[in-house]
Amino acid sequence: MTDRPIPDIIYTKVDEAPQLASASLLPIIRSFAAAAGVSVGVRDISLAGRIIAAFPERLTEAQRQPDDLAELGALVTTPTANVVKLPNISASVPQLLAAVKELQGQGYDLPDYPEDPKTEAEREARRRYDAIKGSAVNPVLREGNSDRRAAVAVKNYAKANPHSMGEWRPDSKTRVSTMSGGDFRSNETSVTLSAAQAGAARIEHVAPDGTVTVLKDKVTYHEGTVVDATFMSVAALRTFLAEQIALSKREGVLFSVHLKATMMKVSDPIIFGHAVRAFLAPVFEAHGPALAAAGADPNAGLGVMLERIAEMPEGKAILAEIEAVMAERPPLYMVNSDKGITNLHVPSDVIIDASIPALIRAGGKGWGPDGKAQDTNCVVPDSSYAAVYDETVAYFKQTGALDPATAGTVQNIGLMAQKAEEYGSHPTTFEIPADGTVRLIAANGDVLHQHKVQKGDIWRAAATRKAPIEDWVRLAISRQKAEGCQAIFWLDATRAHDAQLINYVRPILDAAGVADKFQILAPREATRLSLETIRKGETSIAITGNVLRDYLTDLFPILELGTSAKMLSIVKLMQGGGLFETGAGGSAPKHVQQLMEEGHLRWDSLGEFCALGESLKFQADLSGNEKARVLGRAVDVATQGVLDHDKSPKGRVGQTDNRDSHFYFALYWAQALAAQSEDAALAAHFAPIAKALAENEAKIVAELAADQGKAADLGGYYHTDPAKTAAVMRPSPTFNAIIG
Ligand SMILES: NC(=O)C1=CN([C@@H]2O[C@H](COP(=O)(O)OP(=O)(O)OC[C@H]3O[C@@H](n4cnc5c(N)ncnc54)[C@H](OP(=O)(O)O)[C@@H]3O)[C@@H](O)[C@H]2O)C=CC1
Ligand SMILES: O=C(O)CCC(=O)C(=O)O
Ligand SMILES: [Mg+2]
């Protein structure tokens, strides 16, 4: 923790495309906010920044960085937090390895990531890297529940300018396949803790001979917390994966696996590894121990595996065997068919929240190895939420694709605070070392859960605290009241965890006298009804747990708006502060590649505009500085202007890009401020700026376009050079001079 002054608004430094966008947008925001006496500071939550902050003792004074994430984690529990949170990388092992290598190349004396730590120093390095891996940022900052929806202006724009949608045919062979038993959904048990059971719980493994091994001690649970436990049977998973590979081949469709290896950072890389093993089963049967000895770990994906195998003495022969097996297998769904990158190369390349919606938007087509779009088997091993996608696919096969010109909208109120549900389960998830029983024992000795497990099974416990649940239901009530529309709790009374939540939900709705305004439906039924509702052009509010929050806030926006980047995403922090997330999507690695190769950045900052407007208005509420509200309202006008004048970035080089859209955003923002009559001083300040921007439009646009079509040098990927990045992202001296 540092004693730096806390700025009014904290803007986060992140990775990849949104960080490049910030290099252009943030100077504009800071300049405009200063005129209203609002300070905007930056805290670094990028992957590279978090790595650097983790090893201060190995770095020079100049290289060191404070632990900004820890500072923000504390700040979000205070009533005055006002944070604009951009999407950051949730790193898989291959991303972490690449970032460390890049930093080492820049002179940072960081330890290698110890794949198989042996010494105490290696174990310590591994511990620090593991804390950086996966979704290590969002769960720390999300001290509130989630409210995600399309702003009215954004939704109206999408209807007036519908994106293209792939055709859905009734004879499409695309399908969603999930386990029918032995998975997390089937094995789940759940309890709500009594006062006596609250306190430090223990998770232990009991071997058949009675030997007890503590897996985790001192897991603190509060009274009223819903505690679930479950496991994925590895035997059932293996059988299922083998069946799906055979089925895909038989049906002549692409094989694809969709997981969330980032947020489910312990369980899902293991499941991913099983998919790699199943696909290359004959190779693992023949060379299993040698592959393990060489560090060819399937959990890190085929990409790292192929690199390690190439270093083995017998590498050539094994690679030839892999090629022969692949030729016999069904074609794989590809991440990049030009470069031969398959679904199985990197665990974080195919992330279910974005991957299946994109496939559905395309009419159920995925990219095959030949670069052609094909019908696909979407394998979602755990059945907890697969029905959402299965029902969506079934609905579009029956009724044809959705029409974004007439579609209504599904908003989301997500139970997310304080590491709710599965997304907070990684510290209590274990790959079981030996056959036996796993027990979760409450502070008072009650056995809350027990499961008979086999070696290799994945066991996990998840917790959902009482205060966040109550806050979530209240948020749903207030949103339903504001919209007056259909509102559905997506909860399945036949599922153990959901049944406990329903016990909370019903009494709160009854006490508020609003039970008749809400339905409680299982995910499949809720999906069908929501799709029918938006087909009629109407609105539905989906009130969901954490995982469905994540899935639905990509699924519906991608169908309705073409992308989830345009979402308004507000986290009302439980202690009173505000966290304004930008969009509902990720950091778009493909966009960086395009900028580096062609000098065109297609990232759309509409999510940042939406978050900024909310953050400024919230700042006025917090501080009484009404100038901040004027600034925030003008942001809304500017955002509308960008949409109305069609100044959002487009896909191809030479078209409007991110930098152009920021110029127009600044122009419309300044014009709105000059035109408003609430604050004369602000109007006087911005009038000459608006005039200068308007008069120099052609010149600025030409300066911004000068480097389009040329390769761009950012001085790094994970840890870019600020001067080089500024040169690429702020290429107009005229614009920069006016902004000052
Ligand atoms: N909140 C957070 O911090 C989140 C972080 N992530 C992280 O992001 C990385 C990439 O994740 P991935 O699942 O591939 O998802 P992304 O959302 O980054 O990429 C999927 C696609 O979404 C579209 N997209 C997303 N945002 C924008 C935008 N602002 N403007 C235009 N298009 C956009 C693009 O598709 P198209 O060009 O087809 O429109 C993009 O190629 C991972 O490291 C992941 O962990 C992911 C989700 C949330
Ligand atoms: O934290 C992450 O890794 C991803 C978050 C995400 O996808 C979301 O909140 O929608
Ligand atoms: Mg998501």
- Predicted confidence (pLDDT) per residue in 469-487, tens digit: 999 999 999 999 999 999 9
354 C-alpha to ligand 3 centroid (Å): 7
| Mean per-residue pLDDT of the chain | 97
Count CA atoms closer than 13 A to 560's CA, side-chain side: 34
606 CA closest ligand 1 atom index? 29
What residues sit around ligand 3, an ion, with C-beta below 5 angstroms? 353, 550
The ligand with the least distance to the CA atom of 46 is 1
- For 722-729, what is the mean pLDDT? 98
- Predicted confidence (pLDDT) per residue in 170-180, tens digit: 999 999 999 99
Cα of first residue to Cα of last residue in the chain, in angstroms, is: 32
Judge whether residue 622 has pLDDT over 70: yes
**Distance (Å, whole) CA 59 – CA 414:** 40
Residue nearest ligand 1's atom 48 by CA: 586
**Distance (Å, whole) CA 405 – CA 561:** 10
Task: Please work out whether the CB of residue 90 comes within 6 Å of at least one atom of ligand 2.
Answer: yes
pTM for the full predicted model? 0.97
User: What is the number of other CB atoms lying within 10 angstroms of the CB of residue 314?
Assistant: 12
Residue nearest ligand 1's atom 42 by CA: 89
Q: Which of 133, 138, 141 is nearest to 115 (CA)?
A: 133
Q: Which of 523, 562, 569, 524 is nearest to 543 (CA)?
A: 523
Q: What is the structure's pLDDT at 2?
A: 53
Burial of 258 (0-12, 13-18, 19+ CB in 10 A): buried
- Residue 229: what are its φ and ψ, rounded to 5°? -140, 150
Of all residues in the chain, what percent carry a pLDDT higher than 70?
100
- Predicted confidence (pLDDT) per residue in 192-208, tens digit: 999 999 999 999 999 99
**Distance (Å, whole) CA 42 – CA 265:** 27
Q: What is the structure's pLDDT at 149?
A: 98
- Predicted confidence (pLDDT) per residue in 234-281, tens digit: 999 999 999 999 999 999 999 999 999 999 999 999 999 999 999 999
586 C-alpha to ligand 2 centroid (Å): 7
Residues pairing with 146 in the sheet: 414, 571
Q: What is the structure's pLDDT at 279?
A: 98
603 CA closest ligand 1 atom index? 30
667 C-alpha to ligand 1 centroid (Å): 27
Confidence at 521, pLDDT banded by 50, 70, 90: very high
Judge whether residue 539 has pLDDT over 70: yes
- Predicted confidence (pLDDT) per residue in 485-505, tens digit: 999 999 999 999 999 999 999
Judge whether residue 104 has pLDDT over 50: yes
Confidence at 4, pLDDT banded by 50, 70, 90: confident
Cα–Cα distances in angstroms (integers) from residue 18 to residues 564, 582, 591, 705, in the given order: 14, 9, 9, 20
**Distance (Å, whole) CA 653 – CA 594:** 9
**Distance (Å, whole) CA 249 – CA 232:** 25
Q: What is the structure's pLDDT at 3?
A: 72
Q: What is the structure's pLDDT at 1?
A: 47
User: What is the number of other CB atoms lying within 10 angstroms of the CB of residue 62?
Assistant: 5
